[in-house]
Amino acid sequence: MKRFQERKQDLINATNRLKEALQEEENDLNIDGVLHRYEFTFELAWKTLKDYLEYLGITVNTGSPREVIKESFAHNLISDGDIWIKMMLARNSLSHLYDEETSRQIYREIKNEFMDQIEKLVESL
């Protein structure tokens, strides 16, 4: 439980920092910062979900982000499994992305879709 509580607080802090960055002016430097903060925040989100599932005694199929998302959806910890898979795929593509157009599309998705899902998770935990 302690690990979950610590990770949850880290997720809250990261979510607040991402939210702050999204409120700044859209320029190349800020967009790059948002993308980096998103990667970090998503990583904390799925790991926090994993810790919470383990706290609930659910340890089957909780190894990868995809498995954690599926289990979290199955146990009603998140309401939209498809968008969380989309969020995971966006995070994965950022790790080796050199295409400016794609990175700007992901930025818009973070701003218009993903941030809402992260905030819902934080509220529900």
Q: What is the pLDDT of residues 5-47, one digit of tens each?
A: 899 999 999 999 999 999 999 898 999 999 999 999 999 999 9
Looking at the chain, the whole-number percentage of residues with pLDDT higher than 90 is: 76
What is the overall mean pLDDT for the chain?
A: 92
Alpha carbon distance 100, 28 (integer Å): 10
Q: Is the pLDDT of residue 97 over 80?
A: no
Global confidence as pTM: 0.90
Given pLDDT bands bounded at 50, 70 and 90, which one contains residue 103?
confident
Q: Write down the domain spans for the chain.
A: 2-124
Nearest to 94 by CA among 49, 32, 26: 32
Q: Considering the domain 2-124 in this protein, what is its CATH number? A: 1.20.120.330
Query: How confident is the model at residue 62, as a pLDDT?
Result: 67
pLDDT: is 55 or 99 the higher one?
Answer: 55
Span between the terminal Cα atoms of the chain, in Å: 13
